[in-house]
Amino acid sequence: MAEIRVDLLVYRRDQFSLEVDELVIRPGEKVALMGENGCGKSTLLGLLSGLLTPQSGTIEYGGRPLAQLGFPQRSTLFSLLSQSSDIAFPFTVAEVALMGRFAHLKGGQYSDEDRRQTRELLALLDVLRYQDRGYGELSGGEQRRVMMARVLNQATPIVYLDEPNSSLDVRHTLQIFSHLAQLEATVVTSVHDINLAHRHFDRFLFFKAGRLLHDVPRRDVTPQLLSEVYDVSVSLGTDSFSFRC
């Protein structure tokens, strides 16, 4: 698995700017991107995945600059679950999830193993019973789980997720985060639920107004730190944080 390295990264769009002086994410780490809306979490994921281009700075994977990696190389190195999951064409649930195997196609055809792995992921994410239904017929939460199956089906050593539990109920949220914590892959995800992230992830990047404010392990996430990031009063109970304005 490749180490992710960011140096002197600057991205500007209209009145917003994101600056990350230095960031190294080691193979297998489970990293939560935290902070208020608009602080730069989704922008960082866009930059790391090549959807956005910085004004300056570098992003490297195992010493290789992202700018020098072609799309076939990127598709076997990292996968991305974006916030939006709209699909304009009438694909079935199984077809959408199977798209994750495209980067691994041999001979232009999906293999029996590709299809078996797809069914396993659909079952894991509790949407196998919908496999023959149109993707557009599903609820928002069901579509989210199908897209998660597509991303995991890509079987990349690095997984980027932008609010993966958006539209999900409590049970499916807990199931997905438990699965993410057990993956061998590097996982980098934006999360709003601090207690959920604190339970399942081991490293936390806190952003505020486009700056990386804190980069800490789980043990160093304190009420004082959270108060500074979110501008609210924070207390720590037996096993969770509580917030009030």
What's the CA dihedral at 193, 194, 199, 201 to 10 degrees?
100
Residue 94's Cβ-side half-sphere holds a number of Cα atoms within 13 Å equal to 13
Give the orientation angle of helix 170-182 with respect to helix 140-153, to 10 degrees.
Answer: 10
What is the phi-psi region of residue 63: left when phi exceeds 0, alpha when psi lies from -120 to 50, beta otherwise?
left
Contacts of residue 151, Cβ cutoff 8 Å, sequence gap at least 6: 79, 80, 81, 100, 159, 161
pLDDT at 87: 79
Cα 25 to the chain's mean position, in Å?
14
Residue 241 tokens read as 């944080």
Parent domain of 129: 4-244
Q: Please determine, for residue 86, whether its predicted confidence score (pLDDT) is greater than 80.
A: no
- The CATH code of the domain that includes 49 is 3.40.50.300
> Distance (Å, rounded) from C-alpha 76 to C-alpha 133?
28
* 1 pLDDT more than 80: no
Is residue 171 classed exposed, middle or buried when 0-12, 13-18 and 19+ CB atoms within 10 A define those classes? Answer: exposed
Q: What average pLDDT does the structure give for the chain?
A: 95
Q: How confident is the model at residue 60 (pLDDT cuts 50, 70, 90)?
A: very high
pLDDT of residue 84: 79
pTM tops 0.85, yes or no: yes
Structural domains in the chain (count): 1
